[in-house]
Structure 1
Amino acid sequence: MTEPLEDASAVQVGPRIREFRKQRGLTLRSLAARSGLSIGFLSQVERGISSIGLTALGSVATALGHSVADFFDAPAAPGAPDPVVVPMPRHFTLTRGENAAVQYVSGQQTYRMLSDRGAGLVLEPMVVHIAPGGRREVAYGHAGEEFAYVISGELLYEVDGVEHRLHPGDSVHLRSSVPHSMYNDTSEVTTVVSVVTPRLF
């Protein structure tokens, strides 16, 4: 069984949302209207009571004028040099298994990115480890498309108000504009291969 990785970012997403929201002088009501998420849910995320999925965080990031990565990355040290940006080919990327994968933790979910950044590429492939428990996310629709394939464990996937229990080998593919959410209501970690559009990072 693969356990989600512990990471400081697991507890930093909510406070970072609050920080960026206040920097822009927005109330929770204003952020809710801009992101399409409920005031109550955003309040719980900011206080660390609920976790937020990457796609919902993408809507919050857009509403606040930030990238998703800004909610995880530590601020650069004063005087630190800018990172070197290597131009990527527009038509492909090649990611070796031995390379250190970028990972993000948000509440009960650990996201391991499966592809290096590539200019002009729109798919965001990742492995998601979903720990049991936690608060269930509110079903939410957003732009794009997504696919999830269960590797191990079980996943309760709600699509347009209907719950579907997914087992290893099961998958779901949907237009992301349909309200949806996923939840692990078992006692074991669930591992899913997920591909979403547009790219979040």
Structure 2
Amino acid sequence: MDELEIGKKVRNYRTAQKMTIRELAEATGLTASMLSQIERDLVNPSINTLKLISKVLGVPIFRFFKEDMAARDMIVRRDMRKTIGRPEHKDVMYDLLTPDTSGNIEFCLMRIPPDSDSADVSQTHSGEEVAYVDEGDVEITVAGECYELHAGDSIRIPQFTEHSWKNRTSQMVKVIFAISPPSF
């Protein structure tokens, strides 16, 4: 396993809050000298020490153990998107615009072919969804109520609310949506 660099993370979270080592020391009851050694990765802090630091910095303790993301883990190139659906069957296609669903939000592009529905039955998500119609005109039924949306329109769908999309036009519809927490 790669070095976790816990001390470097402590320093980064502390400096992001414009807090000095002395201020962190005072708030945690640790010495500035000990914190300096931790931040330079000369000393491995105990779990209890990390709990103190995480509480003062307002950072969940697991963040100190999580490996830093490289750019390749944050960026999704157009030709490298994960796609759900099969274009040969004229299915609704979903392109994942986030690298994965391990974060706090999921961001997708939904493509609804002409004369198609997003699903045979209404769907619900445990998270809140916000959708933006990027191209085309589409009908969305939310909690039994039908709405017509056009390019540039957006809608918020509360969690656990049944909804479905319908494209009754002869053009492809593209909808960008975010769901938090991820549900795909």
| Smaller-chain TM-score bracket | 0.5 to 0.7
| % same residue | 26
Residues 157, 164 of structure 1: 8 Å contact kept: yes
> Structure 2 vs 1, CA of residues 101 and 160 (structure 1 numbering), >3 Å: closer, same or farther?
same
Residue 124 in structure 1 maps to residue 106 in structure 2? yes
Distance between the aligned counterparts of 2:78 and 2:116, measured in 1?
A: 32
The TM-score with structure 2 as length reference comes to 0.53
> Structure 2 vs 1, CA of residues 114 and 88 (structure 1 numbering), >3 Å: closer, same or farther?
farther
> Structure 2 vs 1, CA of residues 193 and 118 (structure 1 numbering), >3 Å: closer, same or farther?
closer
Q: From the CA coordinates, give the structure whose radius of gyration is larger.
A: 2
Residue 89 in structure 1 maps to residue 72 in structure 2? no
Structure 1 residue 88: Cα displacement: 5.6
Structure 1 residue 194: Cα displacement: 1.0
The TM-score with structure 1 as length reference comes to 0.49
Residues 147, 196 of structure 1: 8 Å contact kept: yes
Residues 154, 167 of structure 1: 8 Å contact kept: yes
Structure 2 counterpart of 1:101, one-letter code: R
> Structure 2 vs 1, CA of residues 88 and 152 (structure 1 numbering), >3 Å: closer, same or farther?
farther
Residues 88, 118 of structure 1: 8 Å contact kept: no
SS at match of 1:191: strand
Greater shift in the superposed pair: 95-104 or 184-193: 95-104
Distance between the aligned counterparts of 2:176 and 2:82, measured in 1?
A: 15
Instruction: Quote the residue 1:169 is aligned against.
Output: 152
Residues 106, 180 of structure 2: 8 Å contact kept: yes
Gaps of 5+ in 2: 1-65
Instruction: Quote the residue 1:189 is aligned against.
Output: 172
Residues 123, 199 of structure 1: 8 Å contact kept: yes
Question: 1:26-73 CA deviation, whole Å, 9 max, x = no partner?
Answer: xxxxxxxxxxxxxxxxxxxxxxxxxxxxxxxxxxxxxxxxxxxxxxxx
Structure 1 counterpart of 2:142, one-letter code: V
Q: CA RMSD in A?
A: 2.6
Question: 1:102-157 CA deviation, whole Å, 9 max, x = no partner?
Answer: 111166211111111374x1211011111122456322334111111001111101
Residues 125, 183 of structure 2: 8 Å contact kept: no
Instruction: Quote the residue 1:180 is aligned against.
Output: 163
